[in-house]
Chain A
Amino acid sequence: MQDSTFVIPIIDKWLIYSPLHHLAALLNGAAVSSLRESNSRRLPESLASIKRAIEAEPARVPSPNSGPARPQFVGVIPTRACNLKCVYCGFGASSCPDRTMDLDTAVALVDWWADYAKQSGIDTLEIHFFGGEPLCAPDVVSAVVHHARRRAAEAGLAARFEIATNGCFDDDSRAFLSDYIDSVVLSLDGKSVYQDRYRPTSSGAGTFEAVAANARRLAASSTELCVRTCVTAENAKDLQESTAWMCEELNPSSIDYEVLQPTPESDAAGLAPPDPWEFATAFIRASRVAAEAGVRAVYSAASTDELRHSFCPVGTDTIIASPDGRLSACYLLEEDWQSRGIDLNVGTVDAANGVKLDQSAVERVRALTGCADRCRKCFVRRHCAGGCHVNHSYPGHPDRYDDFCVQTRLIAACRLVGGLVGDEQVDRLLSDRTEMERLALRASDTLEDWDGAAT
């Protein structure tokens, strides 16, 4: 019980949280003390019911698959090329602009996925497109979508497609997305003052008008529109305003806020990630604006409605095909993970030989998803699962909370408390930096280590 139940300070109260029992409660210190010490027969019924709940059989601890690979989806990177020149981009558009996946390779990948899904009892042929900008290789996208739809129909499977795009495409591409793509993840960093500066075309022109126009049209179609916003120290200050604008003007299903990952390019552009304390506050306030509009605000790491053993595709058996036919578990550049001493390659695909999946490599990648040392006593560990394996929980990472941990812990706690008692207690917390630090920097959240201090 005690290593799966956490106690988090919320000003003069304590948040009891047991993710494996789907339990959250806000108690005072005396109640937590009673809960920890007492036999449940001596507790008042309200506390006894909590004690019984956290002593019950927990949900299964999320863990990697075993046996043959069981991908949730197959990722396709048709090209690393891009028609934009985002000032913070570290995805390699400038270093490998011309490589496009061979059409025969793309078809071979789909054939393998259809056969594999059918024989593995996977009911949906799900394919996600990443880039670069996938629509810079439109023929690969078309070939994959049409071939997958055909193979899915033949095999009695559903087909589902998702694409991450910069939103700068013509009417024909937009029509294609509306007709065939289930979910479009469109990058937009706010209103023109940010979007035009952060995400210009390769010739330096602003993209705000074109992207906003495409977003509006997609939102009006049957395709799910998810807006992805890169949050910097600069645009974090306007997060509420830009959220209100996106909700009103674009009407997306969700807005996904991703904190800037520093790159040499972002450094050169003078951009920095937001202060984690300010970001947490800005996100919580923006998420209220979004909720009022019926739009889901997402900061994925702090999403407490899902138990995870990995934050990302790594370790979930997801297979991502690069333009050169390399199969890996991650859509970042190979040199990024190599620089951390990680090998995320799991196989190859080409037209002549089809997919060659290395089971030992799949198992090696699964083993990367064990809990990082700094996560062991953190209440968010079952949700953020240590964050990005390449940029955050890489081998040899510092054994202390970093900015990602701080903002994730704050946001998760605020969402849990808000769900229990509403916004007032959350606002009290977010207006008191000392209390925020007490929550976010606490080395251990376990009930076992709880000392009752500061109540």
Chain B
Amino acid sequence: MSGGKQVRCRAKVSWAAQSNGLLLMRQDTGASATLSYPEAAIWDLLSRNVGYERVVKIISAMERIGADRAADVVESAVRQWLVDGWLVNGGDDG
């Protein structure tokens, strides 16, 4: 999911756009989570195979922050999704 980061969406996770962000759902457990911005944008962009560098540029513009800080925001979000089980490392079974 995250270009060059070797993570991917866990199997049976779906998502839907909401007015204020994005709703993640796990079909196997029924768990859900609401992503507000900028995380909603990060998830959407990565899930549509937008390259990591481009995601960072978009987040940098949206947040009006430099590229380094934007990269931190993106990577922090991805780490949290790994912790929360929405993403898995590339080779792991979802």
Which chain A residues have a beta carbon within 8 Å of chain B's beta carbons? 103-104, 106-107, 138-139, 142-143, 146-147, 149-150, 152-153, 158-159, 172-173, 175-176, 179-180
* Contact, CB under 8 Å: B50 / A142: yes
Which one, B16, B44, B49, B57, contacts A146 given CB within 8 A? Answer: B44
List 4 tightest A-B contacts by C-beta distance, closest first.
Answer: A103-B61, A153-B20, A150-B37, A146-B41
Residue of B nearest to A151 (CB): B37
B21: chain A residues at CB < 8 Å are: 149-150, 153
| A150-B37, A172-B49, A175-B48 given; A143·B58 CB < 8 A | yes
Chain B's interface: helix, strand, loop or mixed, by majority? mixed
The answer to whether A179 touches B58 (Cβ under 8 A) is no
- Chain A residue at smallest Cβ distance from B15: A179
B45 CB-CB contact with A under 8 Å: yes
Which residues 3-50 in B have Cβ within 8 Å of A in the complex? 16-17, 19-21, 36-38, 40-41, 44-45, 48-50
Kindly state the separation between the CA atoms of A144 and B74 in the bound complex, as whole angstroms. Answer: 18
Partner among A103, A104, A146 whose Cβ is within 8 Å of the Cβ of B37 = A146
Chain A residue nearest in CB terms to B19? A153
With beta carbons under 8 angstroms apart, the residue of B19, B38, B40, B57 that contacts A103 is: B57
Provide a sorted-by-A list of 24 A–B residue pairs whose CB atoms are within 8 angstroms. Answer: A106-B61, A107-B62, A138-B50, A142-B41, A142-B45, A143-B58, A143-B61, A147-B61, A147-B62, A149-B20, A149-B37, A149-B40, A150-B20, A150-B37, A150-B38, A150-B40, A150-B41, A153-B21, A153-B37, A159-B19, A172-B50, A175-B48, A176-B48, A179-B16
Residues in chain B within 8 A of chain A (CB atoms): 16-17, 19-21, 36-38, 40-41, 44-45, 48-50, 54, 57-58, 60-62, 64
Chain B residues closer than 8 Å to A106, beta-carbon distance: 61
Q: Which residues of A contact B37 (CB under 8 A)?
A: 146, 149-150, 153
Q: A129 to nearest B CB, angstroms?
A: 16
Nearest-Cβ distance from residue B2 to partner chain A, whole angstroms: 15
Residues of B within 8 A of A138 (CB): 50
Tell me the complex Cα distance, A149–B20, Å: 7
Give CA–CA (A2, B46) in the complex, Å.
Answer: 63
Chain A residue at smallest Cβ distance from B40: A146
In the bound complex, residues from chain B placing their C-beta under 8 Å from that of A158 are: 19
Docked Cα-Cα span, A172 to B62, in Å, equals 21
What chain B residues lie within 8 Å of A173 (beta carbons)? 48
A106 to B50, CA, bound (A): 18
Known: A149-B20, A149-B21, A179-B17. 19 other contacts (CB 8 A): A103-B58, A103-B60, A103-B61, A104-B61, A106-B61, A138-B50, A142-B41, A142-B44, A146-B38, A146-B40, A147-B62, A150-B20, A150-B40, A150-B41, A152-B19, A153-B37, A158-B19, A172-B48, A172-B49
**Closest CB-CB distance, B44 to chain A, in whole Å?**
7
Beyond A172-B48, A175-B48, A180-B17, whether A143 also contacts B62 by CB under 8 A is yes
* The residue from A107, A152, A180 contacting B61, defined by CB atoms under 8 A apart: A107
Query: What residue in chain B is nearest A105 (Cβ atoms)?
Result: B61
Q: Which residues of A contact B48 (CB under 8 A)?
A: 172-173, 175-176
Chain B residue numbers with a CB within 8 Å of A176 are: 44, 48
Q: Indicate whether A149 sits within 8 Å of B19 (C-beta atoms), given known contacts A103-B57, A172-B48, A175-B48.
A: yes
B-chain residues with CB within 8 Å of residue A172 when the two chains form the complex: 48-50
Cα of A149 to Cα of B39 in the assembled complex, Å = 13
